[in-house]
Structure 1
Amino acid sequence: MSDIRPVMLFDSGVGGLSVLGAVQRALPQAPIVYVADNGGFPYGTKTEAEIAARVPALLGRLAERYDPRIIVIACNTASTIALAQVRAVLDLPIVGTVPAIKPAALVSQTRVIGVLGTDATVRQPYVDDLSARFAGDCTVLRHGSAALVQLAEAHLRGEDTPDHAYAAALAGLTDQPGGEAMDTVVLACTHFPLVQDRLAAVAPRPLAFVDGAEGIARRTAYLTQGQDWPDAPAPGTALFTARFDVPDGLRAALAGRGLPEISYL
Structure 2
Amino acid sequence: MTGPAHSGTHHLLAFDSGIGGLGIVRALRTLNPALAIEYLADTAVFPYGEQDDAFLVERVLTLISEAISRLRPQAVVIACNTASTLALDALRAAWPEIPFIGCVPPIRWAARLTRTHVIGLLATRATIRRPYLNRLHALYAPDCTLIAHAAPGLAACAEHLFRGEDVPPSAIQREIAGLFDRDTTGKLDAVGLGCTHYTFVLEQLRALSPPRIMWLDPANAVARHTLTLLQNQPEVTSPSVQPRAWFTSMPPEAEALRRKLPDFGFDEITLWPSLPASQKITA
Q: 1:12 to 1:141 in 2, by over 3 A?
A: same
Counterpart among 131, 143, 158 of residue 125 in structure 1 = 131
Q: Which runs of 5+ in 1 are unaligned?
A: none
Query: Per-residue CA shift, 1:1-57, capped at 9, x if unaligned?
Result: 955762110000001111111211233211111111001211101121111111011
Trace 1:22-37 onto structure 2 (pairs within 5 A).
Answer: 22-37=27-42
Q: State the shift of 1:215 in Å.
A: 2.0
Q: 1:28 to 1:229 in 2, by over 3 A?
A: farther
Deviation >6 Å, runs of 4+: none
Q: 1:189 to 1:195 in 2, by over 3 A?
A: same
1:264 aligns with 2:271: yes
Q: State the shift of 1:259 in Å.
A: 1.3
Aligned to 1:106: 112
1:219 aligns with 2:211: no
Partners in 2 of 1:124 and 1:161 — Cα distance? 29
Counterpart among 187, 192, 206 of residue 193 in structure 2 = 187
Counterpart among 243, 253, 259 of residue 252 in structure 1 = 259
Aligned residues: 265
- Greater alpha carbon shift after TM alignment, 176-185 vs 190-199: 176-185
Contact 2:117 2:145 in 1 (8 A): yes
Q: 1:84 to 1:51 in 2, by over 3 A?
A: same
Aligned to 1:48: 53
Q: State the shift of 1:255 in Å.
A: 1.2
Partners in 2 of 1:37 and 1:58 — Cα distance? 8
Secondary structure of 1:228 counterpart: coil
Counterpart among 66, 69, 73 of residue 64 in structure 1 = 69
Partners in 1 of 2:183 and 2:224 — Cα distance? 36
Q: State the shift of 1:68 in Å.
A: 0.8
Aligned to 1:80: 85
Partners in 2 of 1:214 and 1:24 — Cα distance? 11
Counterpart among 212, 216, 232 of residue 210 in structure 1 = 216
Normalised to the residue count of structure 1, the TM-score between the two structures is 0.93
Partners in 1 of 2:185 and 2:199 — Cα distance? 21
Secondary structure of 1:44 counterpart: helix
AA at the equivalent of 1:243? M
Secondary structure of 1:71 counterpart: strand
Q: State the shift of 1:85 in Å.
A: 1.0
1:201 aligns with 2:210: no
Aligned to 2:165: 159
Q: 1:232 to 1:10 in 2, by over 3 A?
A: closer
1:241 aligns with 2:248: yes
Contact 2:36 2:238 in 1 (8 A): no
Q: Which runs of 5+ in 2 are unaligned?
A: 1-5, 273-283
Partners in 2 of 1:179 and 1:46 — Cα distance? 33
Secondary structure of 1:13 counterpart: coil
Counterpart among 168, 173, 178 of residue 179 in structure 2 = 173
Alpha-carbon RMSD:
2.0
Partners in 2 of 1:242 and 1:35 — Cα distance? 11
Contact 1:76 1:98 in 2 (8 A): yes
Aligned to 2:150: 144
AA at the equivalent of 1:49? A
